């Protein structure tokens, strides 16, 4: 089946026409939407290009937040779109552009079935002890406060890719998936199910990210509110856009941070140290919570391309049987034909892998499966 996958960010659209039977791209396009531009117009222009090149049998849309209701790929109609729109406050940077793209795509391709695939859906299996915050029940229920998790489409893709590469049923594996991009999260996957993940109700919790702070003592926020006189919008802007690697090093480009650190920049050296410490801490925690780990996988922009970060993240993990092969780690070059690379020495008890992220392929295959 030929499925058009639309992966909308807050200012860009990644897209690919996927032959789901072969698991290969027929065509792909990427559109940057500059500030103030018409998002729907950009999507419409992209769709016209696809319409003139190949038949489209279905359209799959990545939607970041599905709330508690949407935990499976869902066929889209006006009623479903209205329900998704009610979740915009949970993902204000991502859900609205996705909805705009969906509406334009449905108008341009009215005869094709359209499906939404949700980033939060994979984490619907979180057990109560990993899902709930230690807040009073009436507060949690009144405001809908709970942990949702994100990057689920890619974490699920990583689990399936690892299973296929090792030729071991995913239900027999304990996997720690490290999605390290500008946004970053770690997920514990046991028997093919997400059992814990570093992001929470919003994408702010967890790892140090490109511009997000990750885990912060809530008392810091209270202090900034009271003594610093920051209101909610100012705190939002601080935590989402001016923190993380950017706050520590002045830039969120890991390549630049590595270059400056190697030249002696102490702020960049600190940024790397804080970044990898947080990742390593989560890896250790998830190995403990699952009673061990069979696979540690690195994926997304930094996870796939930075040998330094992979090496630093795996330091001092020999006690769980994770032994890195430095030469293999330095030689990683992932492609669509070689989407998985081995990082460990043969004596390692834990398989260490780099896995190519491919959200477009994942959502296309999910839509095709739902349609069939």
Q: Note whether 89 and 57 are within 8 A (CB).
A: no
Catalytic pick from 77, 78, 119, 231?
Answer: 119
Between 307-314 and 266-289, two packed helices, what is the crossing angle to 10 degrees? 50
Which residues does 76 contact at the CB level (< 8 Å), separation at least 6? 61, 102, 106, 114, 115, 116
Which string of b and e fits 243-254 if b means at least 16 CB within 10 Å? Answer: bbbbbbbebbeb
C-alpha dist (Å) from residue 287 to 50, 166, 194, 319: 44, 19, 13, 11
- As to burial, measured by CB atoms within 10 angstroms (0-12 exposed, 13-18 middle, 19+ buried), residue 322 is buried
Which residues does 323 contact at the CB level (< 8 Å), separation at least 6? 344, 345, 347, 348, 349, 350, 352
Q: Note whether 213 and 303 are within 8 A (CB).
A: no
138 is catalytic: no
Residues known to be catalytic: 119
């Amino acid at each position: 089946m030929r499925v058009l996958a639309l992966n909308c960010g807050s200012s860009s659209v990644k897209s690919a026409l996927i032959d789901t039977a072969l698991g290969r791209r027929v065509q792909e396009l990427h559109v940057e939407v500059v500030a103030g531009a018409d998002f729907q117009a950009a999507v419409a222009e992209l769709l016209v290009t696809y319409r003139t090149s190949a038949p489209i049998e279905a359209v799959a849309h990545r939607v970041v937040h599905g709330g508690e209701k949407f935990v499976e790929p869902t066929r889209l109609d006006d009623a479903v779109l209205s329900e998704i729109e009610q979740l915009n406050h949970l993902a204000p940077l991502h859900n609205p552009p996705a909805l705009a793209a969906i509406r334009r795509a449905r108008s341009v391709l009215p005869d094709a079935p359209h499906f939404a695939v949700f980033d939060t859906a994979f984490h619907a299996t979180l057990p109560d002890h990993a899902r709930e915050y230690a807040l009073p029940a009436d507060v949690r229920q009144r405001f809908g406060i709970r942990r949702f998790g994100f990057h689920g489409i890619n974490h699920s893709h990583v689990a399936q890719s690892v299973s296929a590469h090792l030729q071991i049923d995913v239900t027999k594996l304990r996997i720690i998936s490290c999605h390290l991009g500008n946004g970053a999260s770690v997920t514990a996957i046991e028997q093919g199910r997400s059992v814990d993940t570093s992001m929470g109700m919003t994408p702010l919790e967890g790892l140090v990210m490109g511009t997000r702070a990750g885990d912060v003592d809530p008392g810091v926020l209270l202090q900034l509110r009271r003594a610093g006189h920051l209101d909610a919008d100012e705190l939002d802007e601080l935590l989402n856009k001016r923190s993380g690697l950017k706050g520590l090093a002045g830039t969120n480009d890991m390549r630049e941070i590595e270059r400056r650190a190697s030249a002696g920049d102490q702020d960049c050296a600190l940024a790397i140290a804080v970044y990898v410490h947080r990742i390593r801490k989560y890896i250790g925690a998830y190995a403990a919570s699952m009673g061990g780990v069979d696979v540690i996988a690195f994926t997304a922009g930094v996870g796939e391309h930075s040998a330094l970060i992979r090496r630093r993240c795996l330091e001092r993990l020999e006690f769980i049987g994770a032994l890195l092969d430095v030469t293999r780690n330095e030689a990683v070059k992932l492609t669509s034909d070689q989407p998985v690379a081995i990082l460990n020495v043969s004596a390692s008890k834990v398989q260490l892998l780099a896995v190519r992220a491919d959200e477009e392929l994942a959502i296309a295959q999910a839509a095709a499966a739902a349609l069939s």
